[in-house]
Amino acid sequence: MKFFTPARYLRLGDLANRSAFLAAQRDWESAIADYRQHLSRIRGELPVGLRRLVETVYLHDARVLDMWWGGKTRFTITLQPQSDPSRLVVLVYSLIAQPAVKPETLPEEVRSAPAAWLYDELFVASESGSGDRTYTHDILLSDGREVRLHFRNVLVTRPVPFVPDIRLAPGAPADVAHPA
């Protein structure tokens, strides 16, 4: 992680020292501004589905329902965003390298389970002579893991979950109909 580093994140938790906390907040706000600027520079180079996702769905604190590696090139993440819990986010990456996982990026005392999506960063990793771009997606999870995916493309879908029955979940829309 370049912008939302674990060290930056941890400094936000120092509530004992007011001036240190305020400095950490200013530093965090600066990181947000820098990342937004970075993202605006690369937005047009991102795969279309990922670009739409970045523009429309707030993933911070989304529940990580599932994350699995399907062999050599396939990696899938299923999220339930707090901003729209009635619609899942399913990301299916076409990897060009094994997923890299740092299991203990955050100290044990700040980790939480079940895993939630804290922060992520996207980068254009390379462009070959044939015009094929590759990307990296760095993801910091609340359970302390940092995941790095190096991929060629990603399929983004927004399905409506039916099991468990989302109509029974608190805050779920009453007008969700099951197919006949």
Report how far residue 71's alpha carbon sits from residue 179's, in angstroms, rounded to the nearest whole number.
33
Q: Determine which helix (DSSP H) or strand (DSSP E) holds 166, and give its type and residue range.
A: none
Rounded distance, CA 31 to CA 136, Å? 18
pLDDT in the model for residue 85:
86
**Domain ranges for the chain:** 47-168
Using the CB atoms, write b or e for 130-158: b if 16+ within 10 Å.
Answer: eeeebbbbbbbbbbbbbbbbbbebbebee
Buried b (16+ CB within 10 A) or exposed e, 26-40: eebeebeeebeeebe
Q: Residue 84: its pLDDT value, please?
A: 87
Give the per-residue pLDDT at 140.
97
pLDDT tens digits, residue range 89-140?
Answer: 999 999 999 999 999 999 999 999 999 999 999 999 986 555 688 999 999 9
Distance separating alpha carbons of residues 22 and 46, to the nearest angstrom: 34
Residues of the chain with pLDDT under 50: 178-180
Q: Look up the pTM and report it.
A: 0.85
C-beta of residue 99 within 8 angstroms of C-beta of residue 137: no
